[in-house]
Structure 1
Amino acid sequence: MSNRIGWALIGASTIADEWMVNAIRSQDGAIVAVVSGSEARARQFADRHRIPSATSELGQVLGRADVQAVYISSTNENHLPQAVAAAASGKHVLCEKPLALSEADAHRMIDACAEKNVVLATNHHLRCAATHRKLRELIQSGAVGKPLFARVFHAVSLPAHLRGWRLHKTDAGGGVVLDISVHDIDTLRFVLDAEPVQVTAMTSSSGMASHGLADGVMGVVRFNNGVLAQIHDAFTVPFAPTGLEVHGTDGSLFARSVMTQRAIGEIELRSAEGSKAIEVEHRDLYATAVAQFHRAVLHGEAPAASGSDGYRSLVAALAIQRSAASSSHVAIPFPPEL
Structure 2
Amino acid sequence: MTVRWGLIGASTIAHEWVIDAIRAAGGTVSSVMSSNAERARNYASDNGIASFTTDIDDILLDADIDAVYISTTNDLHHGQTVAAARAGKHILCEKPLALTVEDARAMRDAAARAGVVLATNHHLRNAATHTAIRDAIAAGKIGRPLSARVFHAGYLPTHLQGWRLDKPAAGGGAILDLTVHDVDALRYVLGRNPTEVVAIAQSGGMGSEGLEDSVMGVVRFEDGVIAQFHDGFTTRFVETGLEVHGTEGSLIGRNVMTQRPVGTVVLRNGDGERQLPTDGGNLYEGVIKAFHSAINEGSPSATAEDGIWSLATALAVKKAVASGAAIKVETGL
Normalized against structure 2, the TM-score is what? 0.99
1:190 aligned partner: 188
Q: Name the amino acid aligned to 2:100.
A: S
Runs of 4 or more, structure 1, over 4 Å off, are none
Residue 61 of structure 1: CA displacement?
Answer: 1.3
Q: Which of these residues, 95, 99, 102, is aligned with residue 100 of structure 2? A: 102
Residue 225 of structure 1: CA displacement?
Answer: 2.2
Paired with 2:247 and 2:162, the residues of 1 have a C-alpha distance of 44
Q: Name the amino acid aligned to 2:84.
A: A
1:284 aligned partner: 282
Paired with 1:306 and 1:211, the residues of 2 have a C-alpha distance of 33
SS of structure 1 residue aligned to 2:7: strand
Contact 1:169 1:211 in 2 (8 A): no
Q: List gaps (5 residues or longer) in structure 1.
A: none
Q: Alignment length, in residue pairs?
A: 333
Residue 336 of structure 1: CA displacement?
Answer: 4.7
Residue 331 of structure 1: CA displacement?
Answer: 1.1
1:16-95 map, 5 Å: 16-95=14-93
Q: Name the amino acid aligned to 2:123.
A: H
Deviations, residues 138-170 of structure 1 (Å, cap 9, x unaligned): 100001000000000111000111110000101
SS of structure 1 residue aligned to 2:131: helix
Deviations, residues 98-134 of structure 1 (Å, cap 9, x unaligned): 0000011101101111110100000000111111111
1:326 aligned partner: 323
Q: Name the amino acid aligned to 1:180.
A: L
Paired with 1:98 and 1:281, the residues of 2 have a C-alpha distance of 28
Residue 222 of structure 1: CA displacement?
Answer: 0.3
2:298 aligned partner: 301
1:1-338 map, 5 Å: 3-298=1-296, 300-333=297-330, 335-337=331-333
Paired with 2:271 and 2:107, the residues of 1 have a C-alpha distance of 48
Paired with 2:36 and 2:278, the residues of 1 have a C-alpha distance of 42
Residue 226 of structure 1: CA displacement?
Answer: 1.5
Q: Name the amino acid aligned to 2:68.
A: V
Residue 206 of structure 1: CA displacement?
Answer: 1.0
Residue 171 of structure 1: CA displacement?
Answer: 0.6
Deviations, residues 224-255 of structure 1 (Å, cap 9, x unaligned): 12110000011000001000000001110000
Paired with 2:12 and 2:147, the residues of 1 have a C-alpha distance of 35
Q: Name the amino acid aligned to 1:193.
A: G
Normalized against structure 1, the TM-score is what? 0.97
SS of structure 2 residue aligned to 1:78: helix
SS of structure 1 residue aligned to 2:22: helix
SS of structure 1 residue aligned to 2:223: coil
Cα-Cα RMSD: 0.8
Paired with 2:85 and 2:209, the residues of 1 have a C-alpha distance of 34
SS of structure 2 residue aligned to 1:292: helix
Q: List gaps (5 residues or longer) in structure 2.
A: none
Paired with 2:240 and 2:90, the residues of 1 have a C-alpha distance of 33
